[in-house]
Amino acid sequence: MSDSQTQIITASCPSRLGTVDVLTRFLYDNAYYITEIHSFDDTQSGRFFIRVAFRPNEAGEFDRQQFIDSFTPAADKFEMDWQLVAESYRPKVVIMVSKQDHCLNDLLYRWRIGSLAIDIKAIISNHPDCEGLAKWHNIPYYHFPITAETKPQQEAQVWNVVQEQDADLVVLARYMQVLSNDMCKKLSGKAINIHHSLLPGFKGARPYHQAYQKGIKLVGATAHYVSEDLDEGPIITQGVETVDHGYLPEDLAAKGRDIECLTLARAVQNHIENRIFLHGEKTVVFTK
């Protein structure tokens, strides 16, 4: 359960002397107690990253505007790009899915039992298959069929839902359609995709059958931010498990589904807890 008073500040700036001190000293001087802190200095790019969770050390309500007004001058001196969010904030999420429902089911279960602190505003699909699941959870379901000819219109419908729901995050939980470059730009930094890690060796249809024919020994999954480069966006989390000659194609696929669920859930968790920094074509991720 999140403490309603706990806040999370994330910041990045050019690497220079005092980058940790400017934030931690400000928190100390203003009677804020640090409950968690992570930092990373990228010596290759000369960029510094920090995430701090803190709460007031004394009784009383946290004054967000006062904090912003007071910290901004110090942050400006270090050219900090920073954000402040309450730990208790539940991000608004739209989930996209096609026919395979294993990742959707997993996310809904985690949300239902309270382990994933999000507010699922809608489920969007290009097929009707998962509508019953959405109705059971009392979540609006939008069925937007798509063809090559109707792709622009279909994506406009999707974008309207994302905007209407004021979504903080879009999760592609095995949504088996390639987003247009325009849609990728609109969702930059706020859309997470999941796919098997058999790429690039086994592309296209029936990848696990292809992998079986080659005697694959590792099965995995990758969760990443959506980008204009198909399945090559900044990586957030990856999972992998060993397999052997005894695994038939259906066994490989079952193992892959399990890894996809766990890997996607970890990526979503890291995102909603503000543990991820986009850093060019890669990410900095401060896991627990």
Q: Helix, strand, or coil here: 92? A: strand
Catalytic residue among 168, 231, 251, 258: 231
Rounded Cα gap, residues 284 and 232, in angstroms: 16
Give me the DSSP letters along 109-177.
HHHHTTSS--EEEEEEESSSTTHHHHHHTT--EEE----TTTHHHHHHHHHHHHHHTT-SEEEESS--S
Phi, psi torsion values for 272, nearest 5 degrees = -70, -20
Residues with Cβ within 8 Å of residue 84, at least 6 apart in sequence: 7, 8, 9, 64, 67, 68
Both tokens of residue 80? 């900090």
Q: For residue 153, how far is the Cα from the chain centroid?
A: 26
| Phi and psi based region of residue 171 (left: phi greater than 0; alpha: psi -120 to 50; beta: remaining) | beta
For the purposes of burial, counting CB atoms within 10 Å of the CB of 73, is it exposed (0-12), middle (13-18) or buried (19 or more)?
A: exposed
Phi, psi torsion values for 184, nearest 5 degrees = -60, -40
Of 122, 235, 227, the C-alpha closest to 168 is 122
Based on the residue annotation, tell me whether 231 is a catalytic residue of this protein: yes
Alpha-carbon distance values, 141 to 107, 161, 178 (Å): 15, 10, 20
Rounded Cα gap, residues 285 and 236, in angstroms: 7
Residues forming the active site = 231
